[in-house]
Chain A
């Protein structure tokens, strides 16, 4: 079972050196314990472009699809046997990156 951990941030700041170091430790642990699938940090919402090609005529919009104070700053995809395991990992991840984390299952 895979879960997406969305890292939620509410300021235009990047991770500090301490936070990056803690994230590295957490990532190593994910790999060592067999939970690691993928992870990444994202550029801020101002770097986003929304594309709507539903009408066959691709329309580009500068900026995120949703203007809000909180935004997706990065993510992990982890392998965990159930939500209890995922929540424990997410709690560690939140502490490591010093940000809120939303957990959602892949279908």
Chain B
């Protein structure tokens, strides 16, 4: 990659959300902001190789995008709207100071993650407006046709405009619930990357996990005192640290007990541990993401699976279950219980969840593993079959199939 290409890529990563946010603020229209930002970056790709990279790429991009937006508004404005046109012509402000623009990005994120939008719409809009992914990239990430994804994003922009979804940071009283809405979007993006579904996709979509981490880092920079933001970032880092160890060269899932712990990314582990420690030091009761991060910190703290402090893991799951009494938390708690009290105790706990989790592949996979450990091969085989039928991730399917085929023949 040439220096100029690298500068464009860097500017895109660093400046896209700022440019879109600043333009949305100025023109009050996401569609104009998005299009003008895209045009400004296209102009950079065209001009920087010959003109050189400007000393302040962000300011150059914002100014260029502002002009593009004004051009479009002028093209669209009616002939009798001369006064407005003149105003736009002369109101070519220099970019606003950095602190203000950072605030603008926060407005942009809260607008894209507004609760009046469907979850899948929030995800798509956030990746487009804040993440700067193209419609084609987002469509590919979620296995939808590009025109369908384009329509979803267009409809969302239309709704934001017509229903007047406000472009602002929510009031203090609404902030916690709105932040948790933003984190839910980012966690969904991360999970789709971490456990990618679909027969033709890579088992781990590093592009999505990386994007989720990047956006969560951004939120963390904007809301440094929010414990759940820190918790989600730590959770993502501690999960991402194990990415390469989680899938074998043959494309098969490697479970935690069989992973090569030397292959974990020590830098990410250290950063994740630091965030968890920082949260514990505040003494503020942890939320859901902080507890999940703490559980992952216990796992990544052990140099060997046998060194895992399972009683600590179970205690953290107990704490989590009080906040989130979902059957999935109970299922994960049972997996830890198997290590502490044995697979028979865990199996009884797992089977109590059947009513609610019968359609979830991890329920059957967990049950299959416990039955296998108890030597109940025929029952384990049936459970593996059910898990394989429901699993969407290729690496997981490969792992479950091998496990099933290794069972003693009846």
Which of A15-23, A31-39, A79-87 contacts its partner?
A79-87
Whether A82 pairs with B116 at a CB distance below 8 angstroms is no
Of the candidates B114, B115, B163, B174, the one whose C-beta lies within 8 Å of that of A105 is B163
Whether A84 pairs with B166 at a CB distance below 8 angstroms is yes
B117 CB to closest chain A CB, in angstroms? 10
Instruction: Provide the residues of chain A in CB contact with B114, threshold 8 Å.
Output: 83
Q: Does A51 contact B (CB under 8 A)?
A: no
B90 CB to closest chain A CB, in angstroms? 29
Whether B162 pairs with A87 at a CB distance below 8 angstroms is no
Q: Does B164 contact A (CB under 8 A)?
A: yes
Instruction: Provide the residues of chain B in CB contact with A48, threshold 8 Å.
Output: none
Whether A104 pairs with B163 at a CB distance below 8 angstroms is yes
**Bound-state Cα–Cα, A86 to B116, Å:** 11
**Bound-state Cα–Cα, A87 to B170, Å:** 13
Overall SS of chain B's interface: loop
- Interface size band for A: 10 to 19
Instruction: Provide the residues of chain B in CB contact with A81, threshold 8 Å.
Output: 164, 166
Q: Does A107 contact B (CB under 8 A)?
A: yes
**Bound-state Cα–Cα, A81 to B162, Å:** 12
Whether B116 pairs with A87 at a CB distance below 8 angstroms is yes
Residue of B nearest to A104 (CB): B163
Instruction: Provide the residues of chain B in CB contact with A82, threshold 8 Å.
Output: 164-166
**Bound-state Cα–Cα, A84 to B165, Å:** 7
Residue of A nearest to B164 (CB): A82
**Bound-state Cα–Cα, A86 to B114, Å:** 14
B206 CB to closest chain A CB, in angstroms? 36
A85 CB to closest chain B CB, in angstroms? 8
- Which residues of A are in contact with B by a Cβ distance under 8 Å? 1, 3, 81-84, 86-87, 103-105, 107
> Given A86-B163, A105-B164, list of 12 further CB < 8 A pairs?
A1-B164, A81-B166, A82-B164, A82-B165, A82-B166, A83-B165, A83-B166, A84-B165, A84-B166, A87-B116, A104-B163, A105-B163
- Which residues of B are in contact with A by a Cβ distance under 8 Å? 114-116, 162-166, 170, 174
Can you report 5 A-B residue pairs in the complex whose CB atoms are below 8 A from each other? A82-B164, A82-B166, A83-B164, A84-B165, A103-B163
